[in-house]
Structure 1
């Protein structure tokens, strides 16, 4: 059994290999191949042999523009190629799940389990963040109502002060009346 420190380190390695492309959380073929302990070409060959298992929402190839945009996010000594001969395939969470059925090694199965757990954690964090945004919006709305109420109280106070400034007729018993 691995220690929590080792698990956290391994999770961080995987999290750092998840990118957002086309509004999907995805992983590159070469990163997955590295995690599975196979060559990228072996991973892609297995995918090609089972291409019917990888529809567009499971896997897609980066366009030239997406590849350039992705490469521009990294500062490396060789940003022109970064070891890439062609645009990589990227796999969504569902594509990663499907990879376990085409790469049938024990390491692939264990890595898949870890990756799926991380995707679930990320989704939970995003949901929590969304819930937090709703709560913040509610608090802002509540504060705006308080601001309006405070302004109303001050306007009433201003009216009372203005009325107090007007001379008032004295009432009650006066010594001159005797």
Structure 2
């Protein structure tokens, strides 16, 4: 797997761009290879669960994390485009409370590695998007937490969309000052 890795403003969050082979028939790419991922990123993880969601324009999912059984996530978009956000929730980190946002799309084929200890969310900016993500731990409803997507302290610069669609859980998520966080 030929993989280009680019650091973001949060050094632990990485943009991965796989080598894509294309011609008039279409394209081929290796979307994941454990040894190539480890070699390119220096990150050794075992992924235990794959998730797939489909959402329409304006759906904002997040910011989610698990306070116990934290999940590292390798995320990508296979249809459409999203603005994807990771927020460092590790109190011991020099980047605590900082965020990074990256456009992921079927066209750019970028992937984003979001390690354990981060909140994660995205908003759909195309008519619809299909979002895939691999996780390093299983989903546990009792440990899932949300962080307010509109916390003024975080000041996330979300794309300007006429209408956002959120779950009740995400509409009522606490601000960073009131959220459970990692040590």
TM-score class normalised by the smaller sequence: under 0.3
Q: Greater relative contact order (Cα 8 A, min sep 6): structure 1 or 2?
A: 2
Q: Hey, which of these two has a bigger chunk of helix by percent?
A: 1
Larger radius of gyration: 1
Q: Hey, which of these two has a bigger chunk of strand by percent?
A: 2
Q: TM-score by structure 2 length?
A: 0.20
